[in-house]
């Protein structure tokens, strides 16, 4: 089972490979692997094995069930197939399955699972590099040439269009349907794998210099890929991780040698990036490449009027330029006010959990740091991604948090959590 879990993490970045059929409806490789793992988990374990996770996440699961059910009804009301809600139910089942497995790994009920999960980042980074290499060779993309042009012009769009959009073509997505913003989920998967690796490594420290070197190499490669992604939401979520680490040190009135060394390493890497010109590409991505900012501002300003037209039953499109890029507002547009209220509850539960963890981060063991940081990804993405749905990568990040919190609830260390925080922990 532990190898199946690692396969899920390894396949999670491979989101541009459509298995067969229309890219809009056909399953993709990472979805098949995740759903296969989910079915395997539900087939192998009895119902009582899921009880601890469901007790921890009861409000979160119920809010999602309500949101997806009403959303499906509204789809049918408007004469549309409820593909989005059906996919959401599949991901909700995957969330429960992955959370249960993480819980069992943390409690050592799955022998060797935590040890193997230490290599999550290596697995995800490795498969992504191989898949990108194959894609670029197939599509005749020269990454060094494109990177050089992007640095020479300080234009992030050259890198986005020349590598990512070009590489994602031909594996089920054609030139007209391929989306360069697939990279948000692709590289979000890398970030999630790094959270899992860091948690498992802190829980089960590595043995020997070679293992430590391999782990650090995978994490450094992951950081480099996140920077190359030029995904603002993913980069922001990743940067919140070291910020939370320093918050933990400040609240605990301690600063470790490793944190000081990490800070110097980040400064040195930033200096190298600026000297190479790539730092300017990233800077321009945030400050000069404002097309998406302006487009989102325009659609957001139109959202109140559109909500007025779809107040109770929804029915509006939330694809591309018609999306508000806000989880709750897009849920409202698609399914009406009842769906929006449930979506708001989901967001509040996740946010309340994050606040509760941040307030206690200095009191928790070190392996809770990456778990706390992992909630930054779904929170940032809920505020920036379109469609009114939780992405598969965010579901896995939430499952990591839910599984670890389920394990923590069995210890005296968490007995003083407030009732509100306990109920909010999804």
Query: Mean pLDDT of all residues in the chain?
Result: 86
3 state DSSP class of 309: helix
Q: What is the mean pLDDT of residues 356-362?
A: 92
pTM: 0.90
**Distance between alpha carbon 125 and the CA centroid of its chain, in Å?**
15
Confidence of residue 339 (pLDDT cuts 50, 70, 90): very high
Q: What band does 151 get if pLDDT is binned at 50, 70 and 90?
A: confident
How would residue 422 be classed by pLDDT, with cut points 50, 70 and 90? very low
- CA-only gyration radius of the chain, Å: 21
What distance in Å separates the CA atoms of residue 184 and residue 391, rounded to the nearest whole number?
A: 10
Neighbouring C-alpha atoms within 13 Å toward the C-beta of 42: 13
* In the chain, domain spans: 2-424
Token pair recorded at residue 28: 């993709």
CA distance 372 to 47: 28
Q: What is the pLDDT of residues 303-331, one digit of tens each?
A: 787 788 778 888 787 776 677 888 999 88
Closest C-alpha to 236, from 373, 121, 397: 373
pLDDT at 252: 76
User: Considering the chain, what percentage of its residues have pLDDT values greater than 70?
Assistant: 85
Q: What mean pLDDT comes out for the span 10-27?
A: 83
**CB half-sphere exposure, 226, CA atoms < 13 A:** 24
Query: In 277-391, where does DSSP find H-type helix?
Result: 278-287, 291-309, 327-335, 337-360, 368-374, 376-384
pLDDT at residue 218 tops 70:
yes
Share of the chain above pLDDT 90, in %: 55
User: Span 352-370, mean pLDDT?
Assistant: 93
| pLDDT score for 389 | 85
Q: Which helix (H) or strand (E) holds 414?
A: none
pLDDT band, residue 187 (cuts 50/70/90): very high
CA dist 34 and 5 (Å) reads 9
Q: Sign (positive/negative) of CA torsion 32, 396, 91, 82?
A: negative
Q: Where are the alpha helices (DSSP H) in 109-181?
A: 113-117, 120-138, 143-153, 156-159, 166-167
The span from the CA of 45 to the CA of 99, in Å, is 13
Binned at pLDDT 50, 70 and 90, residue 293 comes out as low
Whether pLDDT at 62 is above 70: yes
In Å, the largest CA–CA distance within the chain is: 63
Q: Which residues, listed in sequence order, are joined to residue 18 by a DSSP beta bridge?
A: 28
CB 401 within 8 A of CB 349: no
Confidence of residue 416 (pLDDT cuts 50, 70, 90): very low
* First-to-final CA distance of the chain: 24
pLDDT band with cut points at 50, 70 and 90 for residue 346? very high
Reading the block at residue 24, the tokens are 């809009």
In this predicted structure, the answer to whether residue 270 has a pLDDT above a threshold of 70 is no
């Amino acid at each position: 089972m532990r190898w199946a879990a690692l396969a899920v993490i390894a396949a999670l970045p491979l989101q541009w490979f459509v298995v067969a059929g229309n890219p809009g409806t056909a399953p993709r490789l990472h979805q098949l692997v995740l759903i296969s793992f989910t079915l395997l988990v539900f087939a192998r374990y009895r119902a009582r094995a899921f009880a601890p996770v469901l007790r921890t996440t009861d409000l979160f699961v119920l809010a999602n069930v309500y949101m997806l059910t009403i959303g499906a009804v509204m789809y049918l009301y408007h004469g549309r197939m409820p593909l989005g809600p059906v996919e959401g139910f599949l991901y909700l089942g995957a969330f429960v399955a992955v959370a249960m497995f993480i819980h069992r790994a943390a409690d050592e009920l799955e022998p060797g699972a935590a040890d193997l999960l230490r290599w999550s980042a290596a697995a995800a980074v490795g498969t992504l590099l191989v898949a990108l290499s194959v894609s670029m060779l197939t599509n005749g993309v020269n990454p060094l040439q494109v990177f050089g042009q992007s640095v020479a012009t300080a234009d992030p769009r050259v890198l986005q269009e020349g590598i990512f959009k070009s590489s994602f073509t031909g594996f089920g997505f054609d030139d007209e349907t391929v989306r360069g913003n697939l990279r948000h989920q692709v590289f979000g998967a890398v970030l999630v794998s790094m959270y899992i690796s860091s948690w498992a490594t802190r829980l089960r420290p590595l043995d020997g210099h070679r293992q430590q070197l391999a782990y650090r190499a995978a994490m450094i490669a992951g950081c480099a890929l996140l920077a190359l992604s030029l995904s603002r939401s993913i980069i922001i979520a990743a940067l919140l991780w070291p910020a939370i680490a320093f918050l933990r040190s400040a609240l605990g009135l301690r600063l470790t040698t490793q944190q000081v060394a990490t800070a110097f390493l980040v400064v040195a890497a930033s200096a190298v990036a600026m000297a190479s010109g790539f730092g300017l590409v990233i800077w321009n991505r945030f400050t000069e490449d404002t097309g998406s900012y302006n487009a989102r501002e325009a659609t957001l300003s139109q959202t109140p009027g559109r909500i007025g037209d779809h107040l109770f039953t929804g029915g509006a499109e939330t694809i591309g330029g018609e999306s508000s890029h806000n989880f709750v507002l897009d849920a409202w547009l698609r399914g009406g006010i009842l769906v929006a209220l449930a979506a708001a509850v989901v967001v509040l539960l996740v946010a309340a959990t994050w606040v509760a963890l941040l307030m206690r981060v200095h009191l928790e063991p070190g392996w809770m740091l990456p778990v706390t940081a992992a909630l930054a990804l779904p929170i940032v993405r809920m505020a920036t991604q379109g469609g009114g749905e939780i992405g598969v990568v965010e579901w896995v990040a939430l499952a990591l948090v839910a599984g670890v919190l389920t394990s923590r609830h069995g210890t005296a260390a968490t007995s003083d959590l407030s009732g509100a925080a306990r109920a909010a922990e999804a």
